[in-house]
Amino acid sequence: MWSLIRKSRTMTCSLLTLSLPLFYNSISTIYRPARSLRNPLVTTSSVFLAPISSSAIRAFCSKSSEARGMADRAVLSIHNPDSISYLNQREAAEIDEILMGPLGFSVDQLMELAGLSVATSIAEVYKPGEYGRVLTICGPGNNGGDGLVAARHLYQFGYKPSICYPKRTNKPLYNGLVTQLESLSVPFLSVEDLPSDLSKDFDILVDAIFGFSFHGAPRPPFDDLLQRLVCLHGSDQTRQKAPVIVSVDIPSGWHVEEGDVGGEGIKPDMLVSLTAPKLCAKKFSGPHHFLGGRFVPPFIADKYKLRLPPYSGTAMCVRIGKPPQVDISALRENYISPEFLEEQVEADPIDQFRKWFDDAVAAGLREPNAMALSTAGMDGKPSSRIVLLKGVDKDGFVWYTNYESRKAHELTENPRASLLFYWDGLNRQVRVEGSVQKVSDEESDHYFHSRPRGSQIGAIVSKQSAVVPGRDYLYQQYKELVEKYSDGSLIPKPKHWGGYRLKPEYFEFWLGQQSRLHDRLRYSPQDVDGKKVWRIERLAP
């Protein structure tokens, strides 16, 4: 039996190569160094030199929580923006001084987290397949440094960033960030190199020009650059898709507390607030407002009475306000995948499944052994649910459940079922159909006692699919059994619990491709000279 190892629900994210202090709290914030603070000399971190697939983006922003019925993949959303704190300029500067002083944070650490938060916020909304061309416009200060870091992470996420950095800061930190981007062949464009109409060459325009400490009128060349951004949303758009503007911390040119005072400033589509939203963010009317970063310790939250949204799982960003209403009919993904050809696949579908399953594990996908199990009783009414694959070999696919559940009753009446694996990020599905029978008592008993003791007790408590008075009823029974077996004695497997094995008679491997020309390869058994062989055929998408 090719056993499946239970994966930890904790994902390890490795893009940050700096050593970060462990001020990691559910009430969190991110750094914005005040202009009055002296930037220390720093050593820049190393970077990855190859892009990461778009699926890996979600390890930071979404894989920590996207609502698919699995808890850790959608970014949390705080629907009432008035329930959180907004900082004025003085408070923002004071918090920076605390972070940079007694808490011991360095500029490069905090800038790294800021840029990562911006990149993951962008990736949450604007996918690289549709919004791949990014221009990051960087100012001379720390806001510009955040933009440089964000561009590096966007490259790793599969985007194609370009940089406009007309007033470079000649300090080791900033020089190192430029070197890192140049090593990735990310182009740096002068203001003169930019097209007059930015919408022709770019899908996303990142405004990383001015931070909260800026005041006064923008000077050349930033006045012209800001005017170009204003013009994008200031005239009728005849193009099919206008580029989106993403502002870092505050929209450049806005007053940090009063917002777009004259009403003639840029109108970003996304605002990524850092530390906590500044007062001007209350005037932001775009569809996407995110808070990024996570490192405010409790005493700062208490001192400034900060009410900030919690981050889910390993997310580096959290949405503020309701997500915009979506036209469900317009939701679509233009898949980009390598070719999937008949001559490339394994002759045995079990071997091909193992190959794809190993890829899903290596990609860090959450619960790659999750599968939709579909059954139907004598009445022909189908039902589906997600269960976890616990083993696969030449004899078939194994899962465990309660033998008195609805699916078990349906399998008794009609011992046939269908399995569906869906591996988002790899653009892959696998369908398996076949007959089903129970595994041996010995096999069920062995697996039962390999489970955590809490799961063993839960299997005894749950009369699966039966009506219960409430959750307290279940919890009380659970507590009683925990006490009963607190001496560490063997917990007996209940007779109504065990495994099933589906013996496959049909496989289909699906790979998403552009323009809906998906690859579909079907394996069906044939008898050749008295031997069972698998016939491989391509199906129309």
Catalytic residue numbers read 516
Question: What are the phi and psi torsion angles at 259 (to 5°)?
Answer: 85, -150
Q: Please say whether the beta carbons of 414 and 376 come within 8 A.
A: yes
| Residues facing 399 on adjacent strands | 500
Q: Is 211 annotated as a binding residue?
A: yes
| CA angle in degrees (0–180, nearest 5) for 379-382-388 | 135
Q: Is 175 annotated as a binding residue?
A: no
Q: Is 360 annotated as a binding residue?
A: no
| CA angle in degrees (0–180, nearest 5) for 61-62-65 | 120
- Residue keyed to tokens 């077996």: 485
On the question of a cis peptide bond just before residue 338, with omega within 30 degrees of 0, the verdict is: no
Q: Is 215 annotated as a binding residue?
A: yes
Q: Is 357 annotated as a binding residue?
A: no
- Local structure of residue 20 (DSSP, 8 states): -
d(CA 222, CA 216) in angstroms, rounded, equals 12
Per DSSP, the three-state class of 65 is strand
| CA angle in degrees (0–180, nearest 5) for 466-468-472 | 145
- Strands (DSSP E) contained in 307-464 are 317-320, 370-376, 382-388, 391-393, 396-402, 416-423, 428-438
Q: Is 55 annotated as a binding residue?
A: no
Q: What's CA 371's distance to the chain center, in Å?
A: 20
Residues sharing a CB contact under 8 Å with residue 249, sequence separation 6 or more, in sequence order: 32, 143, 146, 211, 212, 272, 273, 274, 275, 278
Q: Is 170 annotated as a binding residue?
A: no
Both tokens assigned to 112? 């790294």
Q: Is 142 annotated as a binding residue?
A: yes
Q: Is 147 annotated as a binding residue?
A: no
Per DSSP, the three-state class of 239 is coil
Q: Please say whether the beta carbons of 100 and 322 come within 8 A.
A: no
Both tokens assigned to 30? 């991110």
| CA angle in degrees (0–180, nearest 5) for 359-365-366 | 140
- Local structure of residue 259 (DSSP, 8 states): B
Q: Is 146 annotated as a binding residue?
A: yes
Q: Is 144 annotated as a binding residue?
A: yes
Question: What are the phi and psi torsion angles at 320 (to 5°)?
Answer: -110, 130
Question: What are the phi and psi torsion angles at 349 (to 5°)?
Answer: -65, -25
Q: Is 252 annotated as a binding residue?
A: yes
CA atoms within 13 A on the CB side of 413: 14
| CA angle in degrees (0–180, nearest 5) for 419-67-461 | 65
Q: Is 213 annotated as a binding residue?
A: yes
Residues belonging to the binding site are 142-146, 207, 211-217, 249, 252
Residues belonging to the binding site for K(+) are 143, 207, 252
Residues belonging to the binding site for (6S)-NADPHX are 142-146, 211-217, 249
